[in-house]
Amino acid sequence: MTHEPNTPLSERELEVLRLLATGATNKEIAGKLVISPNTVKVHLRNIYAKIEVASRTEASMWAVQHGVLDFGLTTDDEGDVSPPKESPPEEATPPAEMASPRRAVRTPFVWAAVTLMLLLALGSALLLQRALSKPAPSPTGASQSAGGEPPGRWQTAAALPEPVWGMAASVYDGRIYLFGGQSAAGLAGRALRYDPAADAWEDLPPKPTPVEDVPAALLGEKIYLPGGKLASGAVTDALEIYDPRQNAWTEGASLPAPRSAAALVAFEGRLYLFGGWDGSAYAGETWAYDPQEDSWESLTALSVPRSHALALATDNGIHLLGGENADGPLALHEIYAPARERTAEGPWRSDVPLPQPVARPLGGNVANLVYLFAPDSSGTQGWVFTENSDAWNPLDAPPAPLDAGAVVAPVGAYLHFLGGPRGQHWTYQAVYIVSIPAIQR
């Protein structure tokens, strides 16, 4: 059973809803409508409230049932499907009343579309509960498991040109970028790019300042690397920026203070940096970087100073996971909501703790699911966190322990685990792609 909204949807809200129902992400909607992702989130909150739904799937179903989506079909008096008639273009005008939207076209095509939406909703629910269980085709170059058996979730890919650890990783246009780190020859300024389709590495212009324990994040179409530890052991405040399109380096505004081993993430058009090591003590500051102003801002500090934490952005905010300080490894799991800065409730809240303390967690966000791995010389544990169930569910362990100095880069449905003293390169298939045949008309 459906209902009409008490308050009509605006023309802009209808545009957002149409794009949402096509499966577009907030970022894609923002790009098509030339608005910010934060503005998209505001529109979605208003839409959800007006049509009384609680999820993207429910909103998409509502759009289908109320004829908000234009399938390019019309019906005659008998309900038969006919192609749309040619008509001169008309100037778009806002609907006078959302209480009388275009009626859903009751045709086999529309019911097929409704069925498709229900299947997608069911698939999403299964994904959240089980993270799925059947492998899909592996990326180019991935090998079979030992003994010639078909590969499972874990597969190997092209090793790094040389073993490196403590480097930074980022992803742009489906390819992985690695910067800096430590090698057997000492601190490396080397920059590398990996193409999963070709399963091959290539060298890039080196990072101007060789460092280790440096984070990286993609913002817009540039990769930002703030801070890091120098060969002397000192910590730097330099911000170096790599442009993959120009294949060139530039400098940005220095950090408010030197920092290494900090957690870094891009969220709603800004960079957020948490904690780290200042050269003599564990740090607890939170800083935000605005690329338009090329400036840093101090925000609400962490509850506990720490280094080597993992920061991952989801629709609900920024998850800050694990890390270490003078007390040892931490099992902390906190969520930071920038929009709540300078409010009475504050931007930080605690969430379900990690299954165990993890000093240097590895992980990534795939399909809005938080994947976490605890590297250990004797074995590696892994979990996935589903926000709907507020639970950490165990994952298949890798065939061999992951090195503590490795980094993780999510590409599509895969997490790439790269580096460490052994130069490993493992891929983990986090989710599986189900192909649905196109509906012919």
Same domain, 234 and 167: yes
Residue with tokens 């379900």: 352
Q: What is the C-alpha separation between 169 and 177, in angstroms, rounded? A: 6
> Is 137 contained in some domain?
no
> Is 81 contained in some domain?
no
DSSP SS3 for 114: helix
Identify the pLDDT of residue 113. 55
Same domain, 211 and 338: yes
Identify the pLDDT of residue 89. 46
CATH of residue 310's domain is 2.120.10.80
Give, rounded to a whole angstrom, the gap between the first and last alpha carbons of the chain.
27
Same domain, 316 and 226: yes
Residues of the chain where predicted confidence (pLDDT) is lower than 70 = 1-6, 69-151, 377-378, 433-441
> Is 136 contained in some domain?
no
Same domain, 376 and 272: yes
Same domain, 413 and 373: yes
> Is 140 contained in some domain?
no
- Which residue from 104, 103, 101 is spatially nearest to 9, judged by alpha carbons? 101
Residue type (1 letter), 423 = G
CATH of residue 71's domain is 1.10.10.10
Same domain, 233 and 111: no
Q: What is the C-alpha separation between 269 and 218, in angstroms, rounded? A: 10
Same domain, 192 and 339: yes
Q: What is the C-alpha separation between 428 and 177, in angstroms, rounded? A: 18
> Is 26 contained in some domain?
yes
Query: For residue 101, which phi and psi values (nearest 5 degrees)?
Result: -70, 165
DSSP SS3 for 319: strand
Residue type (1 letter), 294 = D
Q: What is the C-alpha separation between 275 and 361, in angstroms, rounded? A: 15
Q: Rg for the chain (alpha carbons), in Å?
A: 24
Other Cβ atoms closer than 10 A to 137 = 10
| 424-429 and 154-156 beta bridge pairing | antiparallel
Per the structure, the complete domain to which residue 33 belongs is given by 11-75+98-130
Entry pTM: 0.69
Same domain, 114 and 236: no
In 205-363, which ranges are continuous DSSP H helix? none
Same domain, 337 and 194: yes
The encoded tokens of residue 88 equal 């001169």
Count of CA atoms in the C-beta half-sphere (13 A) of 185: 7
Q: What is the C-alpha separation between 358 and 237, in angstroms, rounded? A: 26
The encoded tokens of residue 364 equal 């990534």
Other Cβ atoms closer than 10 A to 158 = 17
Identify the pLDDT of residue 4. 61
Identify the pLDDT of residue 103. 41
Identify the pLDDT of residue 76. 44
Compute CA 111 distance to the chain's CA centroid, rounded to the nearest angstrom. Answer: 33
Identify the pLDDT of residue 176. 98
What is the DSSP-derived secondary structure letter of residue 304?
Answer: S
Q: What is the C-alpha separation between 301 and 283, in angstroms, rounded? A: 9
pLDDT in tens, 315-325: 889 999 999 99
Identify the pLDDT of residue 66. 83
Same domain, 25 and 113: yes
> Is 87 contained in some domain?
no
Identify the pLDDT of residue 323. 98
Q: What is the C-alpha separation between 218 and 220, in angstroms, rounded? A: 6
> Is 361 contained in some domain?
yes
Same domain, 125 and 152: no
DSSP SS3 for 19: helix
> Is 270 contained in some domain?
yes
Q: Which residues of 319-347 are buried (b: 16+ CB within 10 A; e: fewer)?
A: bbbbbbbeeebbebbbbbbbeeeeeeeeb
Number of domains in the chain: 2
